[in-house]
Structure 1
């Protein structure tokens, strides 16, 4: 496939800097795909037919061409959680071959769902892992999604994610992004309901020639809706990170509040960090906050640790791990947490 534009800003700006999108091509398209492993209550999991309608037909994903191709050809799983039920679903993606999958979650009123994504593996040749997960979260429902990406450095990793929240819906996303050669992550969250709430935390660590391209859109439509974005990580060698975060307060989102913060630690002068936090607003009575920071390791912290007997390399390891560790500790699975920490320590 020819070059595509990934993660375009919803309102193009900064044209002279050429950062409104990221050009790239899909890798490994001709290869056969491999199934993923989905574990959970069989009564709530069923096959999702190819071409099933999207929860939001206007959602374009990281790239509309790539998403359309995925929806029209990929295997799919539907997860329907009944009202007031409590369920856990585990999804294992082993990149021993090209992956193309789709997941649709319907969480009924008052239900609780935890979803655990674990990605690892790879091939000698470069290929792609691409998947689309949708969440329709009904009134008073709670969803927690925990994802750990430990893919090999031969993998192009593309995730499309869409969330619709009704009244008092509560959603929490936790991303630990360590692996992958190219990572295109596109998250669009639609806070339609009154007092709906979403918190999205992402920790990443890049080295060598890794790329992390992250786009997030929080659309506030309901009264008193709340969103909070945190992305934090570190880059070394010639790694690159792009963050495009948008808070969009629509007409009618009275007394809503949104915040976004992007923090990047630059471990080498050859890395590149791009941060574009945007605020869009059509409503008067709202609160929107955004912040971005990128810099080297605090020399005072480094001196303090070295004065306690640690070498400079060891001190840097401690600082970077202490930055990412709190998010890893929230995964709640000892085996996965240990694997993530091992990957972090190996990369540092």
Structure 2
């Protein structure tokens, strides 16, 4: 059986033209695992309200961070894929969950190279209904409809792997080295609280009070985004030897009026600035590639908030992007998968 790997990231509009942004947002926000309300309500909200107001605003935001080569997320993902391919002896393709670089195109690329078994590798360290799960579901639909000959192997969330924490922590530590800062904020993409409850395989054990996030051995942690974010912070802080009180976790990018995971990043930045924090550093470990949420929402809007309330120095820490160490890590995982398959076949 010929093997191949499909790296998957979120996606991006094709350009900063409001028409392209509208098309992208429409596909993204109409996903039932992103805005998980009944179809009639989602259609009314997205097509009746959001797509009539937000595309122009979002297009301006994208224009602020757009590179000459295109969308930073796409460019960085392509660079990463190229490096991983150079370190791997099987085909490695790249696709996006939304936008023109579709999952179907990515799977077809591998099939055209003779691949019959695909390992999907979502570029999300933590599991979430609106990220990893929607990729899994879409891949299943595509395989059933177009690629019935393909065998799919999934990659579990890797937030807690020691090799990943080492690469992530050292990338953050590299930026912090010699930096005079008062507080390090770990900002993760937020999700509605109901997403956490829907992903709770224990049917109600999650109390949304933060305590169960740190309870060892809970089976719900396999699919609990909040737990996985909190533990990412804990493990990185431990690796770097950070002192308690010098770092914390928050959640950004909320949408709508329903309660999302707290504390909110923008309010945390404001609160800390008002409390006298003068020098803040901020990392975004839910993202492996710098994108609109890191380059505009954090590095621009976040810094503006911080300065408005008296903060002086605001340092944003780059995502892993196409770091050689990250590319090698993914290549190592690919090799592990091949070895396990070989051992299983021999056994």
TM over 0.5: no
TM-score, normalization by structure 1: 0.29
| Bigger fraction of residues in helix | 2
